[in-house]
């Protein structure tokens, strides 16, 4: 039997079992170790069912209303190393979907099902794109510009958006674009004046650490001369352009002050200040897209108020030129800490990094080659793996076993760059590879921190150009120095607190209430029982892009990849609710941690 | 022999003949009726050789330095209706190229050769795209923003652009983008403040008359929800954002006052006023991209100075709202005249159109289906004909015989819309289909005028909602009326002169000198010996995108399709000159008409 026949046979049996409501037969088609990751299609949730029992439970709960059918293989299936895999498509009563399947010995090992569109609410594109002009004669016709200006004038004033997105970075913008195409009236609220400012406001030398193939926004990919690692101001300009041409309703210079959900009217009351004007918005849905870097984590250090130099969080660090010849202390050892140390050094400052705990370092070139190269690279493109395909392959790997794919990558990295790591350790730098050796990406998914993608600063640590104090913290601050926990003292004109960011949950507490923040619980992380990601295992990222314990409250964000891909699933959940399509949520997550 | 074998055999024989400098054998491979259209590769010109003698002459003059080789078929050839055709690629000593060939009975009927890139000067894209960040540590590193700001501050002041483009509409912008990717320092000069203003400033109801598939700019296609006929302000916003993200050096609110070529220094001296600041630019190359609509054609009508109402050229017509209840006379019967009549009618004005001479009318839906559908449409996309492929197919049809492909299209249009045309004639409208019945596109190529793409106004003429006076002109204007050449008088509060535009040659006269304008001669048209396009036959559009009789002076423009496709060939000609690659021009056109 060929790979294609194998998958076709499986899909036929699976489809028939589901059609016959025969959960037992359907489950019997899975291997003992099996995973079904569903992005919205079956569960109206983002959920991985692990093992036959969970799959049986999900099917029992959902089959009656989901009514899946029309399972088909797209193109040909492949076989490699005992695993047969293929792309599939299917339908439910209300939607169409795409997915991916892996079979071992004819049984399903991994299944991915994702919703691509709601029937009757398809995005207008290609053959269904709008005409742009209405041919014919219409008395007092409105032009496109007049309609657009009217929409801008009315939305939030005389008409209410169905959805308000708080935070107009890449997350809010990508989601806003999808909701625009789906016809969901949406307002994006951003504290900075212009789209892209959250990038422009960062330190001068910042470039994306992720490569271009990983970073596309929905619908409008970067042109093919776009740099591999886009400089911050360039990505800022792109986001501004994108917001304009996608016709997003975007309120810059607007502070969101308070939000309350009225259970009775099922409406949010969102108090905002738009350039001095106090307004109340009444959306049905509220999305917090303030990002992984929305809430600076500023440690309270004794004596900080007596410091006579400059002290600021890394998020407030701009240009390093002013610190030429100055003594600078950078607290922290992740991406921002390293980038800022290098920028200060490049501008002739005297720099000391204070490393409190071990850090994972991955050299950019090696990381791109080993960890991303098969999916997001020119090599991938040449192999037919475009960004959309890469997103789907990536989504098809269950989080429960993702680390097992990652560990060998980082073992190879350690081998390839052995001399580099040896030199770093010799310089006193405390290295780690994640609790289980699974490296950078798992750290990102589990805790969103704990690493530096080396683009040059590690060499400064190695050769002593940037001084390193590791295994210590700042104990207290004096007028012109910091005193470390080992009692030593460093003179300082500048202290940069590269101490990371708090949970989006903290923003919910600030904006809505501590009660709602506690009800919703921790945002981000998998429950991997590793550092900063306590168990129990939850199987998907907590609270991201899916229903939370607070009705009509959603969290959106992550890197450009996640903002692109998961905005698809969040936008379809919101559209379904706006369209009045029933969205029975299977397996709403329990809350195990407050923040 | 299969189609593929047929083309491969032909290419092998052709390649061998060229390699052996054997013009006679090479020419013997062509049919008696044959055309070779070369876009830059062989001729450093835009040139169609018609018949064996012209081909022999061109090869004799160019083979020695062009050194063509490596002729290959791309993919498979096809055979239909006795014609075998295929896509080809080839090289010359200094460039790579693509082309298209049609064989009949094993002999070449049409050959297209186009330059795609200069060896050693390839655009940096895909695998050769820039990194964006320089990994490593560099003292006093400049950020992308600082470099960009420095470039903007210096270009035109302390450093001189190699190329100045006058006119920042779609033509100047598309060419500017190509020159940017080729690394040719370029400044675009535009009188309006913002990119896109030349669209924004037109009458409110204007939408593109060409469909989206025909309108893409280079490198950054519209997203797939872009409307079929983009409203003017939307295309304006797109051009503005495109200019920004492509990092074009664009001076808005800048008037170009005078340009002189110094034969000795081989440099232009271009006097501009940039927002009040007088500056002299000294580029090596000057491109006039002021467009087909750059020089309004304003007839001098006796008594116009005594008119008490509003009188303006169609290019100055904005909003029609102000004319509700007013008596409006529109002189002209082409696109703008019809659009403005309809907009005035929609705003409750009393409108009369004065048709001086016959006009070709094509209904938009019919035109899209019959004339563009095979190349630029969703149907074309579904058949694998994307915009780039369509551009090449289009370019492969020699102008000498293009009308023979067009005539049947318009015969079918006349059949399909017979009732419509009958009604128009009954209403007194003077119709034509071009001198030889070849319709709209040939009119555009020959004279750039003489037609209306009907999007609704014709029905107003038919039912009398817009009054029509045809076969007359305005003889003179009185305080509150116009007097027509038949002696009749029409009361008027508004006169719109939809009287078209002058030649780009006129702009050269104004900017440079009448002497240079006369030396260069007429711009646009083919020499078809039809109305407004006097013979002799020239074979390509006069002076467009190719060397002119004035060293270092170029004309660029046309619709979005031409701005996109021909900017490729103009940019390569300019790049070659900047790079010091010899560019011996074959067959520089003679001047037959002054303007």
Residues from chain A contacting residue B231 (CB–CB below 8 Å):
132-133, 143-145
Give the C-alpha separation, A292 to A560, whole Å. Answer: 12
Taking only the tens place, the pLDDT of each residue in B360-391 is 999 999 999 999 999 999 999 999 999 999 99
CA distance B279 to A413: 56
Set of chain B residues whose Cβ sits within 8 Å of the Cβ of A348: 139-140
Cross-chain Cβ contact B230/A132 below 8 Å: yes
The residues, ordered by sequence, that sit 6+ positions from B31 with a Cβ below 8 Å of its Cβ are B104, B105, B107, B108, B109
Going by their DSSP bridges, the two strands B451-454 and B360-363 should be labelled as parallel
Task: Enumerate the residues of chain A whose CB falls inside 8 A of the CB of residue B244.
Answer: 237, 241
Q: What is the CA radius of gyration of chain B?
A: 25
Condensed to tens digits (0 to 9), the pLDDT of residues B495-516 reads 999 999 888 889 999 999 999 9
Calculate what percentage of chain B has a pLDDT beyond 70. 100
Inter-residue contact A391 to A376 (CB < 8 Å): no
Chain A interface, best mutation among B123, B128, B132, B220, by max A CB count within 10 A: B132
Binary contact (A225, B123; C-beta < 8 A): yes
pLDDT for position A141: 83
Compare A509 and A318 and report the one with higher pLDDT.
A509
How many whole angstroms separate alpha carbon B196 and alpha carbon B244? 12
Residues of A in contact with B238 (CB under 8 A): 245
- Asked if B231 lies within 8 A of A139 by C-beta distance, the reply is no
Round the average pLDDT of chain A to a whole number and report it: 96
Q: How confident is the model at residue A536 (pLDDT cuts 50, 70, 90)?
A: very high
* A47-56: pLDDT as tens digits: 999 999 999 9
Q: Report residue B529: phi and psi, to 5°.
A: 60, 35
Using alpha carbons, select from B270, B241, B240, B244 the residue that is nearest to residue B258.
B270
Nearest to A455 among B135, B144, B234 (CB): B135
Q: Is the ipTM of this complex over 0.90?
A: yes
Interval B340-362: pLDDT, tens: 999 999 999 999 999 999 999 99
Q: How far apart are CA B83 and CA B77, in angstroms?
A: 10
Q: Does B204 sit within 8 Å of A139, measured CB to CB? A: no
Mean pLDDT computed over B274-280: 97
Beta partners for residue A328, in sequence order: A351, A494
Give the pLDDT score at B141. 83
Q: Read off the pLDDT of each residue in B401-410 and give the average, rounded to a whole number.
A: 96
Q: What mean pLDDT comes out for the span A517-524?
A: 96
Cα separation, B232 vs B588, whole angstroms: 37
Work out the average pLDDT over B518-529.
96
Is the pLDDT at A506 greater than 80? The verdict is: yes
Are B137 and A457 a contacting pair at CB < 8 A?
yes
Please name the residue of chain B whose CA is at the shortest distance from the CA of residue A454.
Answer: B135
Compute the distance between CA of residue A310 and CA of residue A317 in angstroms, rounded to an integer.
10
Closest alpha carbon to B343 in A132, A335, A86, A133: A133
Per-chain mean pLDDT for chain B: 96
Which of B126, B133, B244 faces A241 most closely, judged by CB atoms?
B244
Interchain contact, A137 vs B381, CB within 8 Å: no
Q: Who among B223, B229, B465 is closest to A131 (CB)?
A: B229
The chain B residue lying nearest A125, using CA atoms, is: B225
- What are the chain A neighbours of B387 within 8 Å (beta carbons)? none
According to the model, what pLDDT value does residue A173 have?
A: 98
Mean pLDDT computed over A240-256:
98
pLDDT band with cut points at 50, 70 and 90 for residue A374:
very high
Contacts of B132 (CB under 8 A, 6+ apart): A207, A208, A212, A227, A228, A229, A230, A231, A234, B144
Mean pLDDT confidence for B233-255:
97
- Tell me, what's the pLDDT at A167? 96
| Lowest mean pLDDT across A125-134, A262-271, B104-113 | A125-134
Classified as helix, coil or strand, B212 is helix
For an interface test with A, give the residue of B144, B339, B466 to mutate (most A CBs within 10 A).
Answer: B144
pLDDT at A403 over 80: yes
Average pLDDT on A114-139 reads 92
- CB < 8 Å to A148, chain B: 233
Q: Which of A133, A212, A241 sits opposite B455 (nearest CB)?
A: A133
DSSP string over A286-308: EEE---TTSSB-----TTGGG--
Smallest Cβ–Cβ distance between B132 and the set A123, A227, A459 belongs to A227
With 90 as the cut, is the pLDDT of residue B574 above it? yes
pLDDT at A373 over 80: yes
Nearest residue of chain B to residue A242 (CA atoms): B241
Q: How far is CA A587 from CA A55, A57, A342, A549, A580, in A?
A: 12, 10, 46, 11, 21
Nearest CA in chain B to A136: B456
pLDDT band at A529 (very low <50, low <70, confident <90, very high): very high
Nearest to B211 by CA among B199, B227, B235: B227
Burial class for B494, CB neighbours closer than 10 Å (0-12, 13-18, 19+):
buried
Average pLDDT over residues A193-205: 92
A462: left (phi > 0), else alpha (psi -120 to 50), else beta? Answer: alpha
Q: What pLDDT band is residue A295 in, cutting at 50, 70 and 90?
A: confident
**Cβ contacts of A139 on chain B, cutoff 8 Å:** 346-348
- Min distance A143 CA to chain B CA atoms (Å): 6
Q: pLDDT of B426-441, one tens digit each? A: 999 999 999 999 999 9
What values do phi and psi take at A47, rounded to 5? -150, 135
Task: Calculate how close chain B gets to A345, using CA atoms only, in Å.
Answer: 8
pLDDT surpassing 80 at residue B294: no
A293 pLDDT above the threshold of 80:
no
Among candidates B130, B137, B245 on the partner chain, residue whose Cβ is nearest the Cβ of A345: B137
Which of A252-261, A286-295, B50-59, B550-559 is predicted least confidently? A286-295
Question: To which residue do tokens 């002999």 refer?
Answer: B107
Count of A-B CB contacts under 8 Å? 173
Of B127, B348, B378, the CB nearest to A127: B378
Residue A572 CB neighbour total at 10 angstroms: 26
Sign of CA dihedral B134, B135, B136, B140: positive
Q: Among B252, B241, B247, B254, which residue's Cα sits nearest to residue B194?
A: B252
Token output for B232: 């003017």
pTM over 0.90? The answer is yes
Q: What is the DSSP string of B254-268?
A: EEEEEEEEETTTTEE
Q: Which residue has the higher pLDDT, B570 or A318?
A: B570
- Which pLDDT band holds residue A138 (cuts at 50, 70, 90)? confident
Question: Taking a C-beta distance cutoff of 8 angstroms, is the pair B295, B507 a contact?
Answer: yes
CA dihedral A468, A469, A471, A476 (to 10 degrees): -140
Cβ-defined contact of B231 to A345 (cutoff 8 Å): no
- So what's the pLDDT on residue B203? 85
Q: What percent of chain A has pLDDT over 90?
A: 93
C-beta atoms of B131 and A228 within 8 A? yes
Q: Which of A188-192, A499-503, B39-43, B67-71 has the lowest mean pLDDT?
A: A499-503
Identify the band that residue A503 occupies on the pLDDT scale cut at 50, 70 and 90: confident
User: Where are the alpha helices (H) located in B76-217, listed in sequence order?
Assistant: 144-154, 170-181, 197-200, 212-215
pLDDT, residue B231, reads: 95
Tokens read off for B23:
């013009």
């Amino acid at each position: 039997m060929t790979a294609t026949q194998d998958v076709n046979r499986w899909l036929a049996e699976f489809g028939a079992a589901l059609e016959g409501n025969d959960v037992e037969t359907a489950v019997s088609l899975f291997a003992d170790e099996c995973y079904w990751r569903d992005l919205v299609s079956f569960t109206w949730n983002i959920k991985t069912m692990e093992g036959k029992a969970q799959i049986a439970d999900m099917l029992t709960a959902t089959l009656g209303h989901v009514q899946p059918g029309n399972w088909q293989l797209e193109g040909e299936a492949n076989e490699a190393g005992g695993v047969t895999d293929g792309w599939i498509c299917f339908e439910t009563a209300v939607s169409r979907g795409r997915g991916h399947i892996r079979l071992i010995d004819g049984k399903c090992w991994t299944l991915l099902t994702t919703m691509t569109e709601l029937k009757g609410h398809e995005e207008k594109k290609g053959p269904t794109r709008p005409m742009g002009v209405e041919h014919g004669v219409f008395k007092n016709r409105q032009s496109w510009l007049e309609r657009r200006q009217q929409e801008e004038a009315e939305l939030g004033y005389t008409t209410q958006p169905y959805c308000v997105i708080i935070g107009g970075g890449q997350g809010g913008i990508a989601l806003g674009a999808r909701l625009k195409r789906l016809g969901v009236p949406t307002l994006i609220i951003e504290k900075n004046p212009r789209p892209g400012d959250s990038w422009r406001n960062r330190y001068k030398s910042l470039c994306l650490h992720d490569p271009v193939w990983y970073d596309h926004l929905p619908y409008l990919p970067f042109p093919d001369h776009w740099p591999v690692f886009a400089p911050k101001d360039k990505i800022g300009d792109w986001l501004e352009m994108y917001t304009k041409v996608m016709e997003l309703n975007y309120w810059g210079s607007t502070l969101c002050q308070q939000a309350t959900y009225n259970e009775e009217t099922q409406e949010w009351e969102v108090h905002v200040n738009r350039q001095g004007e106090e307004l109340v918005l009444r959306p049905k849905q509220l999305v917090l897209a303030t990002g992984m870097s929305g809430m600076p984590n500023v440690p309270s250090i004794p004596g900080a108020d007596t410091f006579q130099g400059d002290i600021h969080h890394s998020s407030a660090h701009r240009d390093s030129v002013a610190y030429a010849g100055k003594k600078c202390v950078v607290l922290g050892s992740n991406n921002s800490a390293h980038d800022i140390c290098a920028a200060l050094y490049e501008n002739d400052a005297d720099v000391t990094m204070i490393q409190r705990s071990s850090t994972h370092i991955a050299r950019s070139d090696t990381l791109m080659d080993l960890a991303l190269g098969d999916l997001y690279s020119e090599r991938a493109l040449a192999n037919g793996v475009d960004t959309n395909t890469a997103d789907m392959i990536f989504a098809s790997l269950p989080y429960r076993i993702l680390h097992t794919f990652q560990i060998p990558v980082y073992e190879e990295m350690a081998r390839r760059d052995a001399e580099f790591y040896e030199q770093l350790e010799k310089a006193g730098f405390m290295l780690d590879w994640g609790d289980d050796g699974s490296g950078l990406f798992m750290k990102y998914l589990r805790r969103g921190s704990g690493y530096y993608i080396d683009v040059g600063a590690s060499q400064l640590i190695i050769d002593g150009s940037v001084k390193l104090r590791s295994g210590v913290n700042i104990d207290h601050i004096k007028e012109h120095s910091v005193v470390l926990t080992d009692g030593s003292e460093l003179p300082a004109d500048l202290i940069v607190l590269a101490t990371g960011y708090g949970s989006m949950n903290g923003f919910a507490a600030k904006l809505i209430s501590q009660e709602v923040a506690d009800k919703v619980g921790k945002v981000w992380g998998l429950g991997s029982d590793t550092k900063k990601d306590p168990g129990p295992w939850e199987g998907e990222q907590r609270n991201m892009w899916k229903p939370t314990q607070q009705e009509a409250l959603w969290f959106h964000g992550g890197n450009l990849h996640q903002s692109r891909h998961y905005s698809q699933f969040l936008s379809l959940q919101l559209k379904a609710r706006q369209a009045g399509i029933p969205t029975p949520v299977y397996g709403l997550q329990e809350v195990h941690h407050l923040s």
